[in-house]
Amino acid sequence: MSYLVSSPRFAVESKRRTRRGLQYEKAVFPRQSYGLGTVTPSFEGRMVFTFDKLALLRGQVLRVYIYEDGGARNLVMTLGANDVNKVMRL
């Protein structure tokens, strides 16, 4: 089964999602991206993105939205402040 994805969207958002209240969202754009090619079904692929320096405040998360091209299978990953703020540069 093939799964063709569009380029991911990155956003800094508030941790809580409420129906009332202010929704904070700021789009974050990657500086560079690697590995956005085609992968055969029996192999693994890896996408790597580099960003400018980014720090999250209390109550903020980094959400990664990955959408399927022409389909309904979508993925949302949430990275907390510990995941983002303690990343070491290679």
Give the Cα separation of 34 and 49 in Å (integer).
6
pLDDT at 5: 74
Give residue-wise pLDDT tens across range 20-66.
Answer: 655 678 899 989 888 766 677 777 777 888 888 888 888 888 999 98
**Burial class of residue 24 (count of CB atoms within 10 Å of its CB; 0-12, 13-18, 19+):** middle
Average pLDDT over residues 2-24: 74
